[in-house]
Copies of this chain bind each other. A is one copy, B any other.
């Protein structure tokens, strides 16, 4: 029965071969990944020549197609999720060279401390670290601006897990850890 428009009792759209081909063309060659309403309209109108179709079908198709393409790639590139064979935890205590790019001023909004010489007063908030000059060696300040100097908190051998669910985190014994919400206006 295929896509017999007469019956059309199917609960969901079944694209025809032509429709799929065209959609893929638009996606691949046209680079349209998330068509806007207007585009959806047009695509729908065009594809309706080949069979019954609605705008929502087109919308869903693009959504699903994009998601699944991504997923596929992801799966394929996902070949290193098992390599836990890195047994190098023995001398993992490399906390020595931790950067002390931390300002002592109360806390360290990390990047927030840039307003040091930001030049002609432009409130850029796009990227604080867009341009990153070399400096790759020194485990010191990343160099941008934030010169947050952390007094090298004690070694803390058994660090707890990251804050996996809260915006603020642990402030365990930090003498000057009063950084409620670093606005990091950056």
Which residue numbers of A lie inside 8 Å of B, CB to CB?
Answer: 5, 11-12, 16-18, 21, 25-26, 29-46, 48-51, 54-56, 59-60, 62-64, 67, 70-71, 76-78, 80-84, 86, 88-89, 92, 94-95, 97-102, 107-112, 126-130, 132-133, 135-136, 138-143, 148-151, 153, 155-156, 159-167, 169-171, 174, 177, 179, 182, 184, 186
Known contacts A17-B77, A41-B139, A41-B159, then 13 further A-B pairs from the complex at CB < 8 Å, ordered by chain A residue: A16-B83, A30-B165, A31-B165, A31-B166, A36-B99, A38-B171, A42-B160, A44-B139, A54-B97, A55-B148, A56-B141, A59-B110, A67-B126
| A55 partner, pick from B38, B99, B130, beta carbons under 8 A | B99
- With a cutoff of 8 Å between Cβ atoms, the chain B residues found around residue A139 in the complex are 41, 44, 54-56
Closest Cβ of chain B to A29, distance in Å, is 6
A113: min CB distance to chain B, Å: 11
Interface pair A36/B164, CB less than 8 Å apart? no
In the complex, are the beta carbons of B45 and A95 less than 8 A apart? yes
- Interchain nearest-CB distance for A36 vs B (Å): 4
